[in-house]
Amino acid sequence: MERKEWPLWEVFVRSRNGLDHKHCGSVHAPDAKLALQVARDVYTRRQEGVSIWVVQADHIVASDPDAKPELFDPAEDKIYRHPTFYQLPDEVNHM
Amino acid sequence: MTQQTPNPAHIEYVTRIGDNALILGQRMSEWCGHAPVLEEDMALANMSLDLIGQARMLLTRAGQLEGKGRDEDQLAFLRTEMHYRNLTLCELPNADFGRTMVRNFLFASFQVLLWERLLASSDTELAAIAAKSLKEARYHAQHAGDWVVRLGDGTAESHERTQAALDYLWPYTAEFFAANPTDEAIAAAGIGPAWSELEAAWEAAVVPVLNEATLTVPARTPFKSYGKFGRHSEHLGHLLSEMQYLQRTYPGAQW
């Protein structure tokens, strides 16, 4: 018997308005509409979210783990790129 | 607080809606740990818990209306089958995933219409329960309906099984709309619709989805079921014996 696996979908949930969608896991589902529904059932059953994105995992282009040295190491000594030389007012959140 | 004289039709009507939710919730919970995929296992368990939550509120309300001090637990665990008022459809075995989804779709579509009408109930408690439950029923109808389309319009085997499920379940849906004096009294009192009023809207909701699923809607037959009048199929007793085991064996047990 032929068994076809359902595609894998990556699930992103926004926990409340104003915040970003965050990756929280993945589900298997036959299509996009049901992927959203099962993501709702698996990842938002304890009020974790107000919005869900699902993306078929095949459609995500990922960086190569072996390329870490050339991609990420050069940033190591560029301390001037961090906005740590400013005094932020207390009212500014989420920086 | 004023305690009015109990209205038997009112108690019966609320009990019927509560028993539908309780029995289908219990039945569907049998899928827990057995669904075809983990994602549906959780979806089915979530929906079961939605229904059991509805049942708790409704049976609590029925107990208040009755005024004999019975609470949700006593009504759920200490009644015998002839005192249950759920639709026969709710107690039928799950069989395969296809039949489970077809049943959920047929029933949730009915619940949506009922809750919509109960939003305007003269029983404000029931109207509040309707407001909460309507959202749950809409999701159940959507989820199950999407599955019915995918299974009906899927492979040759999934189509065959889904059509068989519809052929098996369809005759039991006549009971939804069977007229009875309780419904007439309830409609007259403004508590809720007589269920016979919902038939045309229900068919208008379910038939297009069944058509999209390439399923053949069976013709109506003389078959009648009578669960909502307390005359049940052989399946309810088995379900209750499992559900009520703990309270029957250890009366008053709590955990």
Residue B236 has pLDDT above 80, yes or no: yes
Q: What pLDDT was estimated at residue A87?
A: 80
Chain A residues lying within 8 Å of B42, measured CB to CB: 38, 41-42, 45
- Would you place residue A93 in the very low, low, confident or very high pLDDT band (cuts 50, 70, 90)? confident
User: CB count, 10 Å around CB of B222?
Assistant: 6
The CATH architecture assigned to B8-249 reads Up-down Bundle (1.20)
pLDDT higher than 80, residue A85: no
Query: Does residue B34 belong to the interface with chain A, where contact is any CB pair within 8 Å?
Result: no
Nearest residue in chain B measured CA to CA from A37: B143
pLDDT at position A55 over 90: yes
Q: What is the pTM of this model?
A: 0.90
Interface of A with B in 50-79 (CB under 8 A): none
Residue A28 contacts B where some CB pair is shorter than 8 Å: yes
The overall average pLDDT reported for chain B is 96
pLDDT at A76: 87
d(CA B125, CA B236): 28
Q: Is A71 within a domain?
A: yes
Kindly give, in sequence order, each residue whose CB lies less than 8 Å from that of residue B83, ignoring residues fewer than 6 positions away: B230
Averaged pLDDT for residues A63-71: 92
Confidence of residue B85 (pLDDT cuts 50, 70, 90): very high
**C-alpha count within 13 angstroms, C-beta hemisphere, residue B135:** 5
Task: Indicate the residue of B39, B147, B150 with minimum beta-carbon distance to A28.
Answer: B39
Angle A11-B147-B177 from CA coordinates, rounded to 5°: 130
Measured between CA atoms, how close is A38 to chain B, in angstroms?
6
What is the nearest CA distance from A9 to chain B, expressed in angstroms? 12
Which chain B residue lies closest to A26 (C-alpha atoms)? Answer: B39
Residue A86 covered by a domain: no
Residue to mutate among A8, A38, A45, A47, with most B CBs inside 10 A, is: A38
Has residue A2 been placed in a domain? no
Smallest CA-to-CA distance from B221 within B165, B176, B174 is with: B174
CB contact under 8 A, B42 and A41: yes
Q: What is the mean pLDDT of residues B146-169?
A: 98
Which among A31, A33, A41 has the least Cβ separation from residue B39? A41
Chain A and chain B share a number of CB contacts under 8 A equal to 29
Average pLDDT along chain A: 90
CA nearest A6 in B: which residue? Answer: B37
CA distances from B14 to B19, B21, B127 (A): 9, 11, 11
- Enumerate the residues of chain A whose CB falls inside 8 A of the CB of residue B40: 38
The number of domains in chain A is 1
| 0.85 surpassed by complex ipTM | no
Domain that holds residue A51: 8-81
The full set of domain ranges for chain B reads 8-249
Would you state the pLDDT for residue A90?
82
Q: Answer with the residue of higher pLDDT: B124 or A93.
A: B124
Token couple for A43: 């990842």
3-state helix, strand, coil in chain B (%, to 5): 70, 0, 30
- In this predicted structure, what is the pLDDT of residue A3? 60
Q: Is the pLDDT of residue A4 over 80?
A: no
Chain B residues within an 8 Å CB radius of A45: 42, 46
* Whether the predicted pLDDT of A83 surpasses 90: no
Task: Calculate helix-pair angle for B199-212, B124-152, nearest 10 degrees.
Answer: 20
| Among the listed residues B75, B42, B43, the one whose alpha carbon sits nearest the alpha carbon of residue B56 | B75
Residues A59-72 have a mean pLDDT of 93
Q: Best of B32, B39, B157 to disrupt the A interface by mutation (most A CBs within 10 Å)?
A: B39
Share of chain A above pLDDT 70, in %: 95
CA-closest candidate to residue B64, choices B22, B116, B119, B126: B126
What is the predicted pLDDT for the residue at A2? 55
State which H helix or E strand residue B199 sits in: helix B199-212
Query: What confidence tens digit (pLDDT) does each residue in B183-234 have?
Result: 999 999 999 999 999 999 999 999 999 999 999 999 999 999 999 999 999 9
What pLDDT is attached to residue B1? 46
Q: 3-class DSSP state for residue A53?
A: strand
CATH number of the domain bearing residue A43: 3.10.20.520
